[in-house]
Amino acid sequence: MPRILSGIKPTGRLHIGNYFGMMRPAIGWQEKGDALYFIADYHALTTVTDPAKLRADSLSLAIDFLACGLDPAKATFFRQSDVPEVTELTWLLSVLTPMALLERCHAYKDALARGLPASHGLFAYPVLMASDILIYDSDIVPVGRDQKQHVEVTRDIAIKLNELYGADLLKLPEPSILPDLATIPGLDGQKMSKSYGNTIELFLEEKTLKKKIMGIVTDSTPVESPKNPEQSSILGLYRLFATPEDTARMEAEFRAGGVGYGDFKKRLFGAVWEHFAPARARRAEIERDPAIVGEVLRRGAERARSLAGETLSRVRRAMGLGR
Ligand code: TRP
């Protein structure tokens, strides 16, 4: 059974782009192997400096995943910082990681290009990520396209350690690239992204969700006239939630004219609201008994720590530490 591992940074509430791009595929993997998912709170510290926010975002991320179908009986779900072994392995990998390899990594390069001060943590971010992946002997790492480079760095570091200290010490992981978020339009027609401020979060109040959807930017084609379905974010989003038949019907109505954008938006709202109804009910249940989340994460961390501990002592021994 392949071991599948991925981490998600707790930085703000999850939106529809995250849901289709990352959450749903990740939850799907729990049927295909030994899946481990963690809340990447150590990584989040490179950008989040408000402890209350980090704690709140970590908790809501955990609740969202459980509400959307992550099954703790099938997958191991934990907080990255509950497995401190990963930071020790980070050091052991760091001494083998060429500066030049990290200087090529995009998060650090972007910070430099924008003239922002980069911390050592941001520079070393890919080494911590390599440690996350290698410490669990992961086979497959589902990530967005932007993280592929980090999995390649992980392989480079593992190859180097294996060459120096023993061929079978670390398993080489393969990335599995998640669907491209560019296909999920935001409120303004650009791809849905927190940095564009055009997101629709997963568990909004009914009124707030309706208001957001009614605020989707459209052109000013009058009700009677045919509308262009190609570039429409209403239709682009509707497609994700509706049946192929309902999608085809909306598309035909766009082309025919006679239905206004307001009506299409109401239909979209209905589809989104209904899609998340079961998850919303589960979320409410979990919120009534938050101890569930603590227990899931505690058990997850226990298993993760035992796997991590084995890899760490194997590598420590190989490198000449301990007795
Ligand atoms: N860097 C990843 C992101 O920003 C999160 C992450 C941290 C991760 N460690 C990981 C993803 C290990 C996959 C495997 O999305």
Dump pLDDT digits (tens) for 9-58: 999 899 999 999 889 998 999 999 999 999 999 999 999 999 999 999 99
Q: Which residues, listed in sequence order, are joined to residue 243 by a DSSP beta bridge?
A: none
Best of 3, 9, 195 for a ligand 1 pocket test (most atoms within 8 Å of beta carbon): 9
Residue type, position 228, single letter: N
pLDDT of residue 22: 87
What values do phi and psi take at 167, rounded to 5? -55, -35
Distance of CA 152 from the midpoint of ligand 1 (Å) = 13
> Exposed, middle or buried by CB within 10 Å (0-12, 13-18, 19+), for 257?
middle
Instruction: Give me ligand 1 centre to Cα 178, in Å.
Output: 13
Check if the beta carbon of residue 150 is closer than 8 Å to that of residue 115: no
Ligand 1 pocket (Cβ < 6 Å) reads 5-7, 9, 40, 43, 129, 132-133, 141, 143, 147
- Quick one: which atom of ligand 1 is closest to the CA of 125? 1
Residue 6 CA, ligand 1 centroid: distance in Å: 6
CA angle 54, 182, 177 (to 5 degrees): 75
Instruction: Provide the 10 A C-beta neighbour count for residue 49.
Output: 8
Confidence of residue 308 (pLDDT cuts 50, 70, 90): very high
Alpha helices in the chain (DSSP H): 16-18, 24-29, 41-44, 51-67, 85-94, 99-103, 106-113, 120-135, 148-165, 206-214, 233-241, 244-256, 261-275, 277-288, 291-319
Percent of the chain with pLDDT over 70: 99
What would the mean pLDDT of 293-313 be, rounded to a whole number?
98
Mean pLDDT of the region 276-298: 95
User: What is the CA(143)–ligand 1 centre distance, in A?
Assistant: 7
| pLDDT, average across residues 297-303 | 98
Q: Rounded to whole angstroms, how far apart are CA atoms 91 and 237?
A: 44
**pLDDT tens for residues 252-284?**
999 999 999 999 999 999 999 999 999 999 999
**Locus of tokens 């990963």:** 86
Q: How many residues does the chain have?
A: 323
Distance CA 170, CA 73 (A): 27
Q: What token pair was written down for 13?
A: 């509430």
CA 201 vs. chain centroid, Å, equals 14
Average pLDDT over residues 64-93: 97
Token pair of 231 as six digits: 């570039």
Q: Are 79 and 73 in contact (CB under 8 A)?
A: no
pTM: 0.92
